[in-house]
Structure 1
Amino acid sequence: MAGEGTNKGWISIYRKIEDGWLWEDKPFARGQAWIDLLLQTNHKDKKTFSKGELIEIKRGSFLTSDQELADRWGWSRNKVRGFLEVLVEERMITLKRSPKGTSLSIENYSFYQGCGTTESTTESTTEGTTERQPKVQQKNTNNNDNNINNDNNGNKRIREEPPQPPSTPSNLSKIEKLILNSFGEIAYKTWFSNCKITEHEKEVEIVATSSFVAGMITQKYKEALEKLCGKKVIVKEE
């Protein structure tokens, strides 16, 4: 069935998408602006000059300004500021403004990148056609701790596990579990986790924390959710 499973899991986005003719169409939609922020974000720590001073930009962050984003997206500066404030309120980004510029950091950046390591992120976002060979780890039968392996010199080293996203609450209601299982964990945590969701006999009421979140849920998920639960879905702002 076409489109089956497209709301689950994640995909790698090749950064050269910005060079295509589709990306030149302005003004950007809010969803496109959000993807653009992810594309601009550094996938590893780096140093850069800003107003004559060498500064370090951490992985998951980048330097920008309201005017720069306004030019990229075809928006006014006021619209950019309002959009960024909503993302801060929804705990999707953090902002640090200073004379050197605005440092924008993506919350849970490793979560969006899937594997969470600098090396794998580089391969998935900048080398879209690179084939990666699987790394086979041999089981150490003399070690009861699966997270500890021995190197060639007999020294023990701890195998680093990739960071995991925050766990989903276990006390979800029936309708919340339906949303999570149908649209995926990222969509649930991004758009629904902070909403008040109440299921009635003939309708489902979703009270969002902002008009932006309410608009995104209405645009992307309302119709599909109505088909899934067989009830009318009402989305409104808190």
Structure 2
Amino acid sequence: MDSSWESALLMLVVLAGLAAPGCGFQIVEGPSNATVVAGGQARFNCTVSQGWRLIMWALNSTVVLSITPKEPIITNDRFTSASYQAGADFVSEMLIQDVRPVDAGRVTCSLQSSDRVAWAFLSVQDFIYLLMKKIGGERERTRYHFVVGTLAVPKAVRAVQDQPCNVTCRASGWIPLPDLSWEVGVPSSQSSSASAPDPGDPQSLVSVLTLTPQGSGTLTCVADPRGLSGAMSETVNLTVVQPGK
């Protein structure tokens, strides 16, 4: 074969390789399976190498979120995005808010101009809360419909340094009622909390945090649905002022 013909053929092969779909980038690690309580939040991560131009997230074969190097393309407020750098790789995270039973199925991460696809399965639990009661030496199972409600704290709290103050957190509409706890992110000489159902609303639980702050910071109320998925938290800013101000 003529050497010039061989050179031309080699160049065509190289150019074809450069133009091949997905050349130079790939999915390093795909999403993992997730099981979420209906009404909660689901998270899926997809790690890709450098050179990508468009990441597409699909739920049951329907594209619900697209990611470009500049910004995400959001068409449904329930499907939002977060991103991280992992060394030289890029991590795209899709968050599904208010997960519904109909969302159960395959979650797919794919790259534009590439046949590389990674997927995971989303399972949605609905009727899952079992209460065991002992009655006459036998256990009775009662099945409840698990519902994630709301969590409310004040927008901001102003307190006097070294003087006790109370901050209230209310969980409403939960079935069953969650466990409420506090994460105290302020310096304080003492803090304690107590939770009790609202007598006027059987689906509400109120937790009161009592503390003596010594500086400003944040207070976070955490609603834990008794070991199930779907935990929720709300944070309030506490501003501490000097006595007499």
- TM-score interval (norm. to shorter): under 0.3
More helix per residue: 1
**Rg bigger for which structure?**
2
Instruction: Compute the TM-score of the two structures, normalised by the length of structure 2.
Output: 0.22
